């Protein structure tokens, strides 16, 4: 049974957006990186950001009240435990994810009008970080994937996998995890041209570039390269309508050799669509951010795969966004 609602819980909820917006703005201005290594006065912060002194003072003080900054003698510095998590160049940095959440603020603010049919989803708008939106988004996906990818690979039977294709593979987090798990695997990473450039840099830095073919294209409009025995479709189907997913499954089917296998990673909703909570919230994220996306039940995913020709469909695991559904191309 869920915890009963109270005036205290409602008050906490209504204040939550304030805390989030303060942290989003700090992330967008990269204040945590600026203040990571030495304390700065408000005048020094204003000079570095071209900000307004009064506004910056209020923001910095609020960040201190929230525990993200420390204030001493009228100077500010990032709280030590926040440094590895919110500084730009840290290996543990969650900054790209927080910046990406800042862009979602714009689209979520239209939720009421979208539900009333007065506004359309904002998938064509650049968002709060306009110039850096794609970079922030891919960085956010890398932050999420780096920690979880090895567990996903461990849940997939790698027997017989020699040539995989990572469809919409982003900067290559999952490609790298599969390659690291098996020295016999070679991979094709397929994504948009600007994303491929980021993937090339990251995969090269890991010393794996000789085992990866980087292919630029649009999987909505372009055929995928063929000759693979395994396809990964990771965190893609939620951005599509059911019909778009059927077309994508068919495209992947053609990229697989007979007997080849697809694994879909995404939320898999309960039949009544109310669980898990993260999946229900993510469906709203797709409502405000795409023209037809959502989160889907196992039956919907299986029906789409079956319509594309896949057989032997089953759910490998149920773990929120890291749920896995598998299907095979007939031999």
For the whole model, what pTM was predicted?
0.89
Does a structural domain hold residue 112?
no
Structure confidence at residue 129 (pLDDT) = 37
Does a structural domain hold residue 278?
yes
Does a structural domain hold residue 320?
yes
| Alpha-carbon gap, residue 149 to 155, rounded angstroms | 10
Structure confidence at residue 328 (pLDDT) = 98
The burial class, CB within 10 Å (0-12 / 13-18 / 19+), for 7 is exposed
Q: Does residue 322 share a domain with residue 186?
A: yes
pLDDT band at 134 (very low <50, low <70, confident <90, very high): low
Tens digits of residue pLDDT in 183-225: 999 999 999 998 899 899 999 999 999 999 999 999 999 999 9
Q: Does residue 144 share a domain with residue 199?
A: yes
Three-state helix/strand/coil letters over 6-68: CHHHHHHHHHHHHHHHHHHHHHHCCHHHHCCCCCEEHHHHHHHHCCCHHHHHHHHHHHHHCCC
Q: What is the mean pLDDT of the chain?
A: 92
Q: What is the mean pLDDT of residues 66-90?
A: 96
Structure confidence at residue 148 (pLDDT) = 83
Domain stop point among 92, 115, 150: 92
Does a structural domain hold residue 321?
yes
Q: Count up the domains in the chain and report the number.
A: 2
Give the pair of three-digit tokens for residue 150.
């090895």
Residues of the domain holding 299: 130-328
Structure confidence at residue 147 (pLDDT) = 73
Structure confidence at residue 241 (pLDDT) = 97
Q: Does residue 301 share a domain with residue 164?
A: yes
Does a structural domain hold residue 117?
no
Q: Does residue 160 share a domain with residue 84?
A: no
Structure confidence at residue 138 (pLDDT) = 63
pLDDT band at 3 (very low <50, low <70, confident <90, very high): confident
pLDDT band at 122 (very low <50, low <70, confident <90, very high): confident
Q: Does residue 188 share a domain with residue 78?
A: no
Chain centroid, CA 130 distance in Å? 17
**Residue 246, pLDDT above cutoff 80:** yes
**Residue 311, pLDDT above cutoff 50:** yes
Structure confidence at residue 139 (pLDDT) = 59
Domain stop point among 39, 72, 92: 92
Does a structural domain hold residue 147?
yes
Tens digits of residue pLDDT in 15-24: 899 999 999 9
Using the 8-state DSSP alphabet, how is residue 221 labeled? Answer: T
The CATH number covering residue 272 comes to 3.40.50.150
**Residue 268, pLDDT above cutoff 50:** yes
Only one residue has tokens 């999987």, namely 219
Structure confidence at residue 133 (pLDDT) = 55
Tens digits of residue pLDDT in 34-51: 999 999 999 999 999 999
pLDDT band at 127 (very low <50, low <70, confident <90, very high): very low
The burial class, CB within 10 Å (0-12 / 13-18 / 19+), for 25 is middle
The CATH number covering residue 25 comes to 1.10.10.10
pLDDT band at 137 (very low <50, low <70, confident <90, very high): low
Structure-derived torsion over alpha carbons of residues 313, 163, 238, 141, reported in degrees to the nearest 10: 140
Structure confidence at residue 130 (pLDDT) = 41
Give, in degrees to the nearest 5, the angle at Cα 100 between 106 and 127. 35
Q: What is the mean pLDDT of residues 250-270?
A: 98
Does a structural domain hold residue 119?
no
Q: Does residue 309 share a domain with residue 214?
A: yes
Residue among 259, 257, 280, 281 nearest 270 (CA): 280
| Alpha-carbon gap, residue 29 to 261, rounded angstroms | 44
Q: Does residue 192 share a domain with residue 137?
A: yes
Structure confidence at residue 42 (pLDDT) = 98
């Amino acid at each position: 049974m869920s915890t009963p609602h109270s005036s205290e819980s409602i008050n906490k909820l209504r204040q939550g957006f304030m805390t989030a917006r303060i942290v989003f703005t700090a992330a967008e201005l990269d204040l945590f990186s600026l203040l990571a290594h030495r304390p700065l006065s408000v005048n020094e912060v204003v000079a570095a950001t071209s900000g307004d002194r009064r506004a910056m003072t209020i923001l910095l003080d609020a960040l201190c009240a929230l525990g993200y900054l420390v204030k001493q003698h009228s100077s500010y510095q990032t709280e030590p435990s926040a440094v590895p998590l919110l500084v730009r160049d840290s290996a543990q940095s969650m900054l790209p994810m927080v910046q990406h959440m800042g862009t979602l603020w714009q689209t979520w603010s239209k939720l009421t009008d979208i539900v009333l049919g007065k506004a359309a989803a904002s998938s064509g708008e650049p968002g709060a970080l306009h110039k850096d939106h794609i970079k922030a988004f891919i960085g956010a996906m890398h932050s999420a994937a780096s920690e979880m990818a090895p567990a996903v690979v461990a849940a997939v039977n790698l027997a017989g996998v020699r040539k995989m294709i990572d469809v919409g593979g982003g900067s290559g987090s999952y490609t790298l995890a599969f390659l690291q798990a098996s020295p016999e695997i070679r991979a094709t990473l397929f994504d948009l041209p600007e994303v491929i450039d980021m993937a090339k840099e990251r995969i090269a830095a890991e010393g794996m570039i000789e085992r990866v073919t980087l292919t630029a294209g649009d999987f909505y409009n372009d055929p995928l390269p063929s000759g693979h025995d395994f396809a990964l479709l990771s965190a893609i189907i939620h951005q599509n309508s059911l019909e778009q997913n059927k077309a994508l499954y068919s495209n992947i089917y053609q990229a697989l050799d007979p007997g080849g296998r697809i694994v879909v990673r995404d939320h898999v909703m309960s039949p009544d669509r109310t669980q898990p909570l993260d999946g229900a919230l993510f469906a709203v994220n797709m409502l405000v951010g795409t023209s037809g996306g959502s989160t889907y039940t196992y039956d919907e995913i299986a029906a789409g795969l079956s319509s594309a020709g896949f057989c032997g469909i089953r759910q490998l695991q149920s773990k929120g966004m890291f749920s896995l559904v598998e299907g095979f191309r007939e031999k």
